[in-house]
Amino acid sequence: MSLSVSPALAPYVASLVAYDVDLGAPGVHRGLPSTTLTFVLPIGEPLDVGWRGLPQSRGRRWSTVSGLHAHPAEIHHDGTQCGVQLALTTAGARALLGVPAADLAGELVELSDAVPGLRHLPEQLAGCRPDERERLVEQVLLSHLRETTPRAEVGRALAQLTRGVSVQAVADEVGYSRRHLRTLIRRECGVTPQDLRRLGRFERSRTRLGQSSLASVAQACGYADQAHLTRDWVDLAGCSPTTWLREEFPFLQDLTGGRPGSLRP
């Protein structure tokens, strides 16, 4: 179930989804990189998550906030998953969490550490009816919404880089040198402009998988060829697009009602 958020939250919350899925058996779900931050509030059992290849990062958390990252996460489950997941824009990090997205880049933290004022949200969520979960989260976020005045040129640069516009063209459009643009993007997001373009391309390819051939997806999303697409997926997702479609796509269809997506920190 996906909620259309309040217009006041729309610039900051890209999606808000309540999920309750039966996966059939215990396993490990891949958490994929994205151009948004991920905020997960599990219900019933804490979320068992860590970065792939970094066992020391794994932990069981009643809330997880993660920034932009260029590597997959692993979500261990017992066969079922229930909770609420949000995708926050980089502007949403400042407006809702009170910190720049750069402070959370590559991190997996609990809500109480990132935003002490929201530390009671997991407990509140556990005590409400299933049909009230999304609205509760929305109302709590609205009550914590901060006035922010992001620089318009930085917002334009972020949007264009995510869409795949070249770094030089973006720098020219906003009137900055490439070096200054790199400094501003890293300060805001914690990644370079090139990294942000790559994440945007990967994200676009994920939404197209299963709808057309891999060669067509590669061409539409700006990859040099299908081999380039596959290499990027192995690097960012830890598997090929074909493997992801076979192992993860059925779960994501259950989660999103047929819309490609990802439960991902």
Domains, the chain, with CATH or none: 13-147 (2.60.120), 152-245 (1.10.10.60)
pLDDT per residue as tens digits for the range 8-35: 999 999 999 999 988 889 999 999 999 9
Between these two residues, 151 and 175, which has the higher pLDDT value? 175
> What's residue 203's pLDDT?
96
How far out from the chain centre does Cα 111 lie? 15
Which pLDDT does position 2 carry in this prediction? 56
How many of the other CB atoms lie within 10 Å of CB of 225? 12
pLDDT tens for 199-216 read: 999 999 999 998 999 999
Chain position carrying tokens 């999103």:
256
- Assign 46 a pLDDT band (cuts: 50, 70, 90): very high
pLDDT (tens digit, 9 = 90+) per residue, 124-141? 999 999 999 999 999 999
Distances (CA, A) of 258 to 77, 81, 103, 177, 265: 21, 17, 33, 42, 20
Residues 154-163 have pLDDT tens digits of 999 999 999 9
Pair 261, 252: CB distance under 8 Å: yes
The rounded mean pLDDT for the chain is 91
In the predicted structure, residue 254 carries a pLDDT above the cut 90: no
